[in-house]
Every structure is written in C-alpha cells, then in structure tokens.
C-alpha cells in the first residue's frame, strides 16, 4: 500500500527529475500536476538554481506578474486575435513580413535564450504556441522546433482552458483540431515529454483528495457525488472567513457591492500609484480601491517581509482603516496584521553585455493596498489560490475544468459549502485533454531516460559545435544571389566569396565530416561528456584547428570584401546574408575558443550566447568614407575621393529630378569614369552607360568634377 509519506517521497523525486530534465537536457517538457502539487514553487526554485539563460512568459498580465515574467504577447510582439499558422515562420529568403519588426536588442535576447518557460500553459491556445515557434525559428534555427530553444510548459490541463471566441474559432477551426496547446502544429510534430507531480500539498484529507481526482479525471462515482452533495447548504449564511466562488464577474461584483453597502460608515478610497510602464491589463488590483471598516478582504500578494504574515489568498476582515494603513484580523491563525501599501513590478528582459546574462529590467511599478473585497471572486481568478473556507456556486459552469478548479481551492471538505448542488452535467471535460493526459502518463521519463536525454543533448551540442552546414548554406545562397545579379554587382565581393566557398568546401567541410564520424563513435559509449576523457582530448585538439580554418576562410570575406550596386533591394539582401554569415562565424569562433579547454554543455551555451552580445563584426562598421566592408554595401575604387564626389553629385541630381539614382549614373559607369578620368566630350563618349542625351545633359558637369579633382591632386 502506498502511504502519504511514500507519495511525498515519490513526488520529491519527480521534482528532482524535473530539475535535472530542465538543467541537463535540451528536450521540451510539460510539467503538470493536480492543483496544489507545487508547480509554482518549482518555478521559483528553478529561477534561482538553473544555469541556463531563461525568460518566463504567461498568457495573461496577472499570471505573468505572479510568475515574475511578462506576457506572451508583449515578449513576442504578437497582435491579439487569432494567429494564422506559419505566418511567422521564416521563408527561405530572409526578411520578415512588412508588419513584423523586432529591434536589435530583442533579436539578440531571443538568440541568447537557452530556455523559454511558459506558465499557466493550459490557457495558451494552439495558434499562439505556433506563433511563438515561428518567431523563434525566424531569428534562430528555422529547422528546429522553437528555433532550438528548450521549452518548459507548466500547468494543469484539467484546470481552466483557453478562451476561444466563436469568431476566432471560425478561422482557427480550419487549421486546428482543438484550441489546446498540445494541438498546435509544432507539438503535434514534436510532442513534449511530460512529468506529472502527484503529491498534493494543499489538501491532507485523502477522502477529499480522491473525490477531487475523480472530478479531474471525469470519473466521479455515486459515492463521491453523494459525499459532495452533503456539503450543500441552501440556507447557509457565510460568516467571516468564507469566500464565495462563482462563475461570472457580474455575480462576484454584485455580492461584493451588496456586502460593502450594508456596512455602516463611510468608505475610504485608495488610489494606486503607477510609475513607468505598467499597462492597465496587468493591474493586480483596482486602481481605485474602495474599502470600509468591517469589510471582508483577501490578500492578493505574498508578504515580502521576513515575517511572512500573509499570503496570496488569505482571508480576513478590516478592524481599523486609515488613508495610510489598514488593520486586518485573520482567524487562521488568530492575528491582526497591519497592512501597508505593497508594490508590484513590471519587468522586461534584456541582455547584460558585461555579464553576458539575461537580466530583468524593471520598467514599471504599481503600488496599492494588497487587498480586495473578498466576499466573492470568480473561479477563473481563484486559480492558483488556496482558501480555508469557501462557498461554491458552480451552477453556471460553462467551460472545461471550472468545477474542478473551484472545489480544489479549498484545503478541506469541512471548509467547503455548496450553495447549489453539484450537477454532474456541469463537470465539463474535454476528450482530447483526457486522451493527451493518458498518452503522456504512459510515457513518463525516468532517471535512465534522463541520462539518455543528457547524452543526446551533449551530442546535439557537439555536432552543432563542429558542424558547418548552416554556414555553407548561407555562403551558397549569397553566391547564388551575386551570380544571378552579376551584371549589377561591382567590387571584390564576388571573387572573395568564391575563395571563401572554395576554402570551406575543400578544407573545412571534408575534415569536419571525418571528425563528425569520430565524434559519433566516441559518443556511442554510454558516458556523459564530463566522464569521457578520450572525447575531451579529441575536442581539445580539434578545436584550435577548426578555429584557425574558420578565421582563414571567412576573415577576407567579412573584413576586406567590398561591393556596390544600384539595386536597393539587392543591396539589402546581400547585407542580410553577410550579417547572417558574420553572426554564424562569430558563434563558431566563440564556441571553438571555449572548446579548447574541453567541452561541457553549460560552457558551450555560455559561449554561444556571448557571441550574440558582441558588437557587430568590424566589417559592419563604416570608416568615414574610406575603405569599408562588404556588409555595408560600400566599395573602394582606385580614386575613392573622386568616386565619392561623383556619387554625391549623382545622388543630388537624382533627388532634384525625382529619378532613381541609376538613371543618372550607374555604378559601373562611375567606376569607369574614375579609372579613365576623361578630359573631353570625345573621351566621355567612350564610357559605357553615357549616351548622347546623357552627355548633352550632364557631360559638362561630369567633366568639371573630374577636372577639379585633377587640379586638387596637383595642389596636394
């Protein structure tokens, strides 16, 4: 027989298993569990102990504030409303859709992420998760789910479901089997592993726990229903400490206002203080909070003081009230708490360039009394809270998991009162959820699988470290772009690129392929990288050679190559390709440098993320009109000063006549003018791109520019 103590020990081991899963593998995880099993506590501890760079998001503003993160829509800059599948996925050709723009800091942040944590995942719709997948792929690796970022999803599918309006489903129903996150396209193709926590800390009454589990799993027995119906008290008058949970806001508002109005005395209004960026949708409390002496209130925040006098969900009544403080008497335990204004913070994530860590930047604060009237709240707002005494009105339950959430808020059956009988028809569950949970339960990862996943993760990172396929593909795409437009692209870029491609394919890739075979052989042993001396030795010896090869092959392309073109779209595409190559090169340089001391997953991840924090490669900078790099789209000519004078004149003429620049002078024409420096109209006629009409219109000005330059040269 399994005792409560055994269950607790088992669940402690599952918590440790989940911690190892997140820290030591790269696999996506759905951490679930019944209400009150410690999922939120696990998240808090993970924030403190996990070495990976993480961001925490949640579907709603309140959930995000409670989780210490930001909303999904805010972090990923997604519009509200339905998300069409694949809209955010990167195309083969670079360049996001016109309405999709991220700043450099946000792109760098996304590229530095190791793990993304989504809290309250049960409320996240399938289309929203696919949008997250698309954004991450766009700015990281298009070929990997979530761009290669590890995903930790925390929540309970048997609790509240995603909100889907009829008009939204009219569109989304064409693409999805259902609204739940596991029905997203990305998770249907790449199902996550699941770890379920099953030891309930909130309740200790095993009989009550069994009934809750029956409701959760849609198998409520006659005995269980009868036990619940015994808690039906049609004439019950809630006393102090009782809170009513109902299905709709209007019910809760009506109950609270009735009770508040019935109290003697004048109300006091507490106005919130808002600083910086704190959107109204994320307000944790009323901006104008109206309270009276005698009002039943609920704390909506954990006490930040060392005394921990109150917690989110604790019930009490106001004994004294003034504009500066409120005294609240709580019966569990019997005490009076002096309450002052509390502060909530709104954060955004940013990269710390000095520490190479992801920091939480405080961007706004909300200061208000951590109380609200609490004769009643909605079941939706009660998710995550715990009450000693509650009156449940679930007669109008309308969605999956609502009855279970309501009943599971109470610590004990004795503290539970039903204002209406439980209607079995109101216990709404979704068959797709039941099927998913059953399938996940049959494939729970154990310690042995964790070790296997750890080795697979290390193998993935090692093959990434010594894999140069993506770099080769980007070079090939750039080569195709330039070859296709060779008549309008000028400069040394084409020649330097050809040499880089040759070096990569003849020197780098063949050796990399041979080394990959060696790595796979060494990795076939059932050893973690840290316990594999032969593997570590090969890595330390190989890293310097590959580091040198990368530097020799790519440095000329990124430092010295130059190009010019009059085609603005082509110039943009070439620059994007070059920036991508520069970024990938920088990652290889950082990670190979770190690997010279041996390999570990944390060291590799740190080096990879550090690469995104570096200033753009030197080739991305201009040098005041002198020699510049290919990535800037500039070119060095034999007479750079003359070239610049002609270009400035050309650009001014184009602006004056509202014409494209190339219709005044093409780049190849300017380069020939610079090389030959004609002195007469007859010599101008020999320059390609200068016809009779153009010479008649601009010839004298061009010759004057060249003559002035010749004169200046003699003066120098």
Tell me the per-residue pLDDT of 532-591, one tens digit each, with 9 for 90 and over: 999 999 999 999 999 999 999 998 888 878 888 888 888 888 988 898 898 889 989 999
Chain CA centroid to CA 430, Å:
28
Which residues partner with 416 through β-bridges? 390
b/e per residue 288-311 (b: at least 16 CB within 10 A): ebebbbbbbbbbbbbbeeeeebbe
The Cα 203–Cα 708 span in angstroms is 91
The conformation of residue 559, written as its DSSP 8-state character, comes to: I
| Mean pLDDT value of segment 465-488 | 90
Lowest mean pLDDT, pick from 205-214, 412-421, 589-598: 205-214
Give 185's pLDDT tier (boundaries 50, 70, 90): very high
Lowest mean pLDDT, pick from 381-390, 433-442, 463-472, 620-629: 620-629
Instruction: Give the C-alpha distances (Å, rounded to integers) separating 77 from 153, 187, 214.
Output: 20, 22, 40
Q: Residue 653: what pLDDT?
A: 86
Lowest mean pLDDT, pick from 307-321, 439-453, 507-521: 439-453
Instruction: Retrieve residue 588's tokens.
Output: 């290889």
What is the longest distance spanned by two Cα atoms in the chain?
Answer: 109
The Cα 512–Cα 469 span in angstroms is 10
- 661 Cβ contact list (under 8 Å, min separation 6): 566, 650, 651, 654
| Mean pLDDT value of segment 307-322 | 84
| Mean pLDDT value of segment 636-643 | 75
Q: Is the pTM of this model over 0.85?
A: no
- 206 Cβ contact list (under 8 Å, min separation 6): 4
Strands 326-331 and 315-321: antiparallel
Q: Is the pLDDT of residue 436 over 90?
A: no
Q: Residue 35: what pLDDT?
A: 62
Q: Residue 93: what pLDDT?
A: 42
365: enclosing H helix or E strand: strand 357-368
Share of the chain above pLDDT 90, in %: 28
């Amino acid at each position: 027989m399994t005792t409560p103590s055994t269950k607790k020990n088992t669940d402690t081991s599952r918590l440790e298993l989940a911690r190892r899963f997140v820290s030591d593998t790269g696999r996506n995880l759905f951490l679930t569990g019944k209400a009150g099993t410690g999922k939120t506590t696990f998240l808090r501890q993970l924030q403190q102990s996990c070495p990976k760079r993480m961001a925490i998001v949640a579907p709603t503003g309140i959930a995000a504030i409670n989780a210490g993160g930001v909303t999904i829509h805010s972090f990923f800059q997604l519009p509200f409303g339905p998300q069409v599948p694949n809209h955010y996925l990167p195309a083969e050709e670079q360049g996001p859709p016109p309405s999709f723009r991220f700043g450099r800091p946000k792109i760098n942040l996304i590229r530095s992420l190791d793990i993304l944590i989504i809290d309250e995942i049960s409320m996240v719709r399938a289309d929203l998760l696919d949008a997250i997948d698309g954004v991450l792929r766009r700015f990281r690796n298009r070929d990997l789910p979530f761009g290669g970022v590890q995903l930790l999803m925390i929540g309970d599918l048997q609790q509240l479901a995603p909100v889907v309006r009829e008009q939204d489903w009219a569109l989304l129903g064409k693409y999805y089997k259902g609204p739940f996150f596991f029905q997203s396209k990305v998770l249907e193709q790449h199902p996550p592993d699941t770890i379920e926590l099953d030891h309930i800390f909130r309740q200790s009454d095993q009989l009550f726990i069994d009934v809750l589990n029956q409701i959760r799993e849609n198998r409520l027995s006659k005995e269980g229903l009868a036990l619940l119906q015994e808690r039906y008290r049609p004439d019950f008058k809630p006393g102090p400490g009782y809170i009513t949970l109902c299905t709709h806001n209007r019910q809760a508002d009506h109950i609270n206002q009735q009770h508040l109005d019935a109290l003697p005395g004048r109300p006091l209004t507490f106005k919130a203080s808002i600083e910086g960026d704190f959107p109204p949708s994320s307000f944790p409390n009323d901006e104008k909070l109206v309270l009276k002496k005698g009002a039943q209130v609920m704390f909506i925040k954990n006490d930040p003081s060392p005394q921990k006098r109150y917690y989110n969900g604790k019930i009490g009544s106001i004994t004294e009230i003034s504009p500066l403080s409120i005294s609240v008497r709580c019966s569990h335990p019997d005490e009076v708490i002096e309450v002052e204004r509390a502060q909530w913070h709104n954060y955004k994530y940013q990269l710390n360039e000095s520490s190479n860590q992801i920091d939480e930047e405080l961007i706004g604060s909300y200061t208000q009394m951590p109380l609200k009237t609490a004769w009643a709240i909605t079941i939706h707002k009660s998710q995550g809270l715990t009450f000693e005494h509650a009156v449940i009105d679930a007669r109008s339950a309308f969605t999956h998991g609502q009855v279970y959430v309501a009943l599971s808020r109470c610590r004990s059956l004795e503290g539970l009162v039903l204002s209406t009988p439980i209607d079995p028809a109101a216990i709404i569950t979704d068959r797709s959820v039941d099927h998913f949970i059953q399938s996940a339960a049959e494939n729970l990862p154990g310690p042995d699988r964790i070790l296997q996943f750890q080795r697979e993760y290390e193998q993935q990172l090692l093959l990434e470290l010594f894999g140069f396929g993506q770099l080769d593909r980007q070079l090939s795409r750039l080569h195709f772009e330039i070859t296709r437009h060779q008549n309008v692209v000028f400069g040394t870029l084409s020649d330097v690129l050809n040499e880089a491609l040759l070096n990569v394919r003849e020197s780098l890739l063949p050796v990399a392929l041979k080394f990959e075979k060696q790595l796979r052989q060494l990795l076939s042993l059932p050893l973690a990288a840290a316990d594999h001396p032969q593997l570590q030795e090969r890595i330390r010896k190989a890293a310097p050679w590959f580091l040198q090869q990368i530097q020799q092959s790519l440095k000329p392309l990124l430092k010295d190559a130059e190009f010019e073109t009059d085609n603005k779209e082509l110039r943009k595409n070439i620059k994007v390709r070059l920036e991508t190559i520069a970024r990938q090169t920088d990652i290889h340089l950082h990670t190979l440098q770190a690997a010279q001391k041996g390999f570990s997953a944390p060291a590799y991840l740190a080096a990879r993320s550090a690469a995104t924090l570096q200033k753009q490669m030197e080739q991305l900078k201009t040098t005041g009109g002198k020699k510049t790099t290919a990535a800037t789209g500039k070119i060095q000519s034999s007479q750079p000063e003359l070239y610049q004078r002609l270009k400035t004149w050309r650009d001014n003429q184009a602006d004056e006549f509202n014409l494209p620049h190339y219709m005044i002078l093409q780049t190849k024409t300017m380069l020939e003018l610079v090389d030959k420096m004609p002195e007469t109209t007859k010599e101008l006629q020999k320059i390609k791109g200068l016809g009779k009409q153009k010479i008649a219109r601009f010839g004298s000005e061009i010759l004057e520019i060249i003559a002035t330059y010749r004169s200046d040269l003699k003066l120098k």
